């Protein structure tokens, strides 16, 4: 009996209040994807079952749906913990960084890889709460080293940016080649 109480205490300690929302989301997504399997994959007559293009995705999505249902069942049967919606809002708040990445990708063709990388490194450093000058300078230097690594040493062809068009010819060519 002691072992059961220990496990219950352990599960209670590490349980997150938003798990039932996650369980519902996983179940809905997996059932939706499973419902689309026939229109998104092919079935080849005469092939072995395990060689069918539809077989392994169906197995994976079926298992995902079953385990999501078990997770939902376990979450529904557990005691309620305060803070469910606070945790779910925290999940959505983390999508802010996806928006930052999209903004970065949209800005690169206009302001160039070098300027955009340095500006976003500094802005994100400030966004997460760092205010010391040494840390902000460190973020800018790190961004510069990343640009140099990718453009100069690894020879990755990255967009130059429309801002380089206004530079004088010699400087423009140098910036296009190395930055």
Q: Which residue has the tokens 């800005």?
A: 107
Give whichever of 71-80, 138-147, 169-178 has the largest mean pLDDT: 138-147
Q: Could you tell me if 105 and 113 are in contact, meaning their C-beta atoms sit under 8 angstroms apart?
A: no
pLDDT at position 5 is: 62
Any residues with CB less than 8 A from the CB of 80 and at least 6 apart, and which?
none
Q: Considering Cα of 135, then 140, then 141, then 145, what sign does the dihedral take?
A: positive
pTM above 0.75, yes or no: no
Domain edges within the chain: 2-93, 96-178
pLDDT band for position 127 (cuts 50, 70, 90):
very high
**Residues 42, 136: Cα–Cα separation, whole Å:** 53
Question: Which of 99, 137, 132 has its CA nearest to residue 121?
Answer: 137
The 10s digit of each residue's pLDDT in 22-70 is: 899 999 999 999 999 989 888 888 888 888 888 999 999 999 999 999 9
CA atoms within 13 A on the CB side of 117: 20
């Amino acid at each position: 009996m002691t072992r059961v109480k220990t496990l219950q205490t352990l599960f209670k300690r590490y349980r997150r209040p938003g798990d039932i929302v996650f369980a519902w989301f996983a179940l809905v997504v997996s059932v939706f994807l499973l419902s689309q399997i026939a229109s998104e994959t092919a079935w080849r007559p005469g092939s072995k079952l395990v060689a069918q293009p539809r077989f392994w995705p169906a197995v994976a999505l079926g298992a995902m749906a079953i385990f999501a249902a078990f997770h939902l069942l376990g979450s529904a049967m557990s005691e309620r913990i305060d803070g469910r919606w606070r945790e779910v809002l925290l999940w959505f708040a983390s999508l802010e960084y996806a928006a930052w990445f999209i903004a970065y990708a949209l800005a690169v063709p206009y302001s160039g890889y070098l300027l955009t990388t340095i500006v976003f490194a500094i802005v994100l450093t400030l966004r997460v709460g760092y205010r010391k000058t040494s840390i902000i300078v460190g973020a800018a230097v790190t961004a510069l080293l990343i640009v140099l690594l990718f453009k100069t040493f690894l020879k990755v062809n990255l967009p130059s940016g429309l801002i380089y068009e206004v530079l004088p010819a010699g400087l423009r060519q140098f910036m296009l080649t190395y930055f």
